[in-house]
Amino acid sequence: MTLADALRKDVLLQWRTRARFLAVLAFGAVTLLLFSFAAGPDTGALRRHAPGFLWLALLLSSTLALAESFQAEFEQRALEGLLLLPAPARSLFYGKALVNAAHLTLLGGALVPLAVVLYDLALPRPGALLGLLALGAAGLSAPGTLYAAMASQARARQMLLPLLLFPLVVPVLLSTVKATALLLTGDPMGQLRSWLLLLVCFDAVYWSLCGLLFGRVVEE
């Protein structure tokens, strides 16, 4: 199986389960709403905490989406057949991770307008914010896809995945929250480039290591 074949397979699976996306989006929207209630009516506090609330909502929502990444393959016992094909297991991983990253980017883009309304935000550079969402989604999807494969055979996979994923993605979460705050509120000290570089480095490490480890994870 080539990477293109894996991408085609996972895009079709996502399309057939598109109703699940609406459910995850509703969960993320409710999470943002609850965070706004927790912050109270102070507009200044809402604006200050909005980047963190946005990424926490995306992180929590991502566990619902990622936990089901390999559900179809294991239910139909298709993963064993895919691994028997004369192709590296990395192709299966990168196809799945790329589609998950696109899924989370789309989810984050759908949550941004709600955050703008709830937290009274301004979007001075929406294109740059979309690119940042893509980088952050990549940092979540690579380890999330790997751990989803590990937890897919467990009965409590939706509980196990957050326990494995959250500690690992703390650097990604810190980088994205700080970069988003600088993007929305201004960057007088020129720190945005450094945070973006840190995020790109973690993305590169996660995508490299998780691709190498995926074969051993699914074969055991």
Q: Which pLDDT score is estimated for 159?
A: 77
Supply the range of the domain harboring residue 106: 3-219
Answer for the pair 122, 185: CB distance below 8 angstroms, yes or no: no
Q: Which pLDDT score is estimated for 149?
A: 81
Q: Where is average pLDDT lowest: 15-24, 64-73, 126-135, 145-154?
A: 64-73
pLDDT tier, 112 (very low <50, low <70, confident <90, very high otherwise): very high
Three-class DSSP category at 41: coil
How far is 143 from 166, CA to CA, in rounded Å?
10
pLDDT of residue 80 exceeding 70, the answer is: no
pLDDT of residue 69 exceeding 60, the answer is: yes
Three-class DSSP category at 1: coil
- Report pTM: 0.87
Q: Which pLDDT score is estimated for 147?
A: 87
Residue of 165, 189, 164, 166 lying closest to 178 (CA atoms)? 189
| Arithmetic mean of pLDDT, 96-121 | 91
Answer for the pair 6, 95: CB distance below 8 angstroms, yes or no: yes
Q: Which pLDDT score is estimated for 136?
A: 95
pLDDT of residue 79 exceeding 70, the answer is: no
| Arithmetic mean of pLDDT, 44-54 | 88
pLDDT of residue 32 exceeding 70, the answer is: yes
Domain count, the chain: 1
pLDDT of residue 155 exceeding 70, the answer is: no
> Which residues make Cβ contacts (< 8 Å) with residue 200, sequence separation at least 6?
135
Answer for the pair 109, 174: CB distance below 8 angstroms, yes or no: no
Burial class (CB in 10 A: 0-12, 13-18, 19+), 212: exposed
